[in-house]
Every structure is written in C-alpha cells, then in structure tokens.
Structure 1
Amino acid sequence: MYLQSLLAIFFPLIGSYSQETAETPTPVLLPEEDPQNFPDQYADQVVTMNGEHWVKERTYSVMKPEPTCEYARIFDGDGTKYNLQLGAKLRGKWTNQNQTLVLKTSGNHTKPNVMEFSRTKADGRQDHKLLYSNYKNCSIVRIKRETQGLFCDLLLLGSAANSEPPSPCKEKFEKYCEGQKIQVYTSDCGTPQK
C-alpha cells in the first residue's frame, strides 16, 4: 500500500516534468528586432532632425546627483559618421562633450538602426538601437549599458520637450521601456550653451 502511494505521487510528477521540458519556449522578439517596427527605426532619418534632442525621460540612473536638461545635438555628417554633442546641466551649470556618432545596421535591418556613441563615460562606446521615431519630434532609443537590462531614453526635439510626448510615441515608450521613469527635462531647461 505504501509503495502504491509513492508510485501514485511519483509518476504524475515525472509525466508533468517530461511535458514541461518537451516544449521549447518561444524566444521573445524585442521591438528593436521586430520587422513590423523597422519603418519606425531608420536612424539615418533621425540624425537629420535638426536641433536639440532633449531627454524627456529615461529608465536608468546616470549618477548622483542626477543631471538635468540632457540633450543631444547631431550635425555635420557624411551618411555614416556624424558629430554628436551631448550636454546637460550638472549642479545647475551647463556641461557638454563632443564625440563621433557612427550609424550601423543590426540583425535583419536593411537600413541603419543603430547609433554607436558613448552615452556615459562609465559605459563607454556602445551600440544604441532606435526603438521608434515619428521623424518629426519624438524618438525612443534603447540605451545599452555595461550592466544587464533594457534601458531607454525618450527624446523630444526642440520646443516639443515643453509638452507631453505625442501619440504613439508616449505609448510605445510605456510598452517598450518598463521600469521606473526618471523625469530629466524641466520647463526651465532653456537653451543650452553651444
């Protein structure tokens, strides 16, 4: 009787284990590699949007104290390499750095969707993928860091930063970029020093 009880418990466990392991999990397709999103991910169009790309929100901490009024200005390119100025207010004072931004293509993309540059000194040069752009005033960039995780910047061009992000940019940011949102842009950011 004792043996029958053990077998009654043991065999169903084996059966459920073999069923679970027999199924191959479907890999999750990230939005930056989903072919349906490719038309919204042309980095070569984003780099031609003139003006300051203000970081409205991001999903990661940079340093303490957190900088505010972060922006990117892209200019003087040859189709592959561009001059990039990253700037911010740190402790109330403007600071900026110039570097080279390089366009790349990843996965099954046929047009550049990756911007290689150094977002933070700690992380160095990384490949940052464009998740979405409306090619007018709103873009979402997947920020690659040395630490594991999916991080994002929500960028608004010029005076659009004074408003809420437009649809569907705002909704895509919420969907693609989970986690705590850090508000970076404030109405007193003004115009950065050039």
Structure 2
Amino acid sequence: MKFLPTAIDGAFIVEVEPWVDERGLFARTFCAETFAAQGLVSSYPQCSVSVNNSRGTLRGMHYQIAPQAEAKLVRATRGSVFDVAVDLRPDSPSYLQWASVELSAERRNAFAIPEGCAHGFLTLEHGCELIYHLSSNYAPDLARGVRWDDPLFAIDWPFAPVVIGERDATYPSYVRR
C-alpha cells in the first residue's frame, strides 16, 4: 500500500499495489500493522455502507465529537465519488483546510481521515456504493454536521449537488474556535 499525504495533517490517500497474473488481481486494502506504522488508526469496530442511486448525490459534512470522535477509512466499492474532509481541529496545523480525492471502485483507493475532521462526498455517477470503516461506534447524540457549501471552507466541488437530504441541506455554518 502507498500512503499519500494530503493538505490535512494526518489524512492520507491510500493506494493499493496490486499483484496481477493470469488469475486476475490481488491486493491488500488494509493491514493493521502497516496502518499503525504510518501513525493511522488500526482498529475499526464498526463498518457501514452507503448506497447512492443518483449522480450528484451529496452526503455531508458529518463528524462525531468526543468522547466518540471517529477516524474513518472510506472506500468506493461501486462507482466513483468526490470525497472531502475538512479539518475542524483548532490545534491542528491544517485547521479549516480541506482535502479531496476521487475514490473509485476501479482504482480501489481509500481515504484515511483522522478524528476531528468533517467528511462528505458527491457521487460522480449513478449507482455508487461506499464502505466506511469507523474507529468508534455511531453515537447519535454526538453526531454533528456543518454546511457542505460553507464559505469558510470554500470547498471546490466539481458541480452542484442534485440530491441532498434535508438534514445535510440544513446544517449550520461552522463557528471558528
């Protein structure tokens, strides 16, 4: 696996290094020892799936606060998405910066996002599916969100969303700390 740093301190694009032969392809997508050596979370007690029917579906920007803040490892298993993280950690050198990656089932890449970052994505085609590995169990009372189009972040989305849930559409702007 290759770990490519992003603009966010502690966030990495994870690329697989496939072995290809007459049978097809094989690649490691996760190794606890390798992730820990990189300084990343290496234990994920919860895994979730997100299925999105339409191109232009936006989900985000979500995060969970302490004591159950979540690190995430996100991978597209069908289709492709514009995946984004925003650093909301006031003590971070990359506070309020954002990073993005195009995740695709074809590339088999992933986005490792540290605790304290908001996360969201925009589907680039119909029929996208994402797998989330989460470092903490979902706690509805600790779940939070911020506007996907907050001018403070100035995320350069590839196009305007077509489908967005009411909760995501009505998140407040972020208040700088």
Instruction: Normalising by structure 2, report the TM-score.
Output: 0.29
Instruction: Normalising by structure 1, report the TM-score.
Output: 0.28
The structure that has the greater radius of gyration is 1
Higher RCO (CA 8 Å, separation ≥ 6 residues):
2
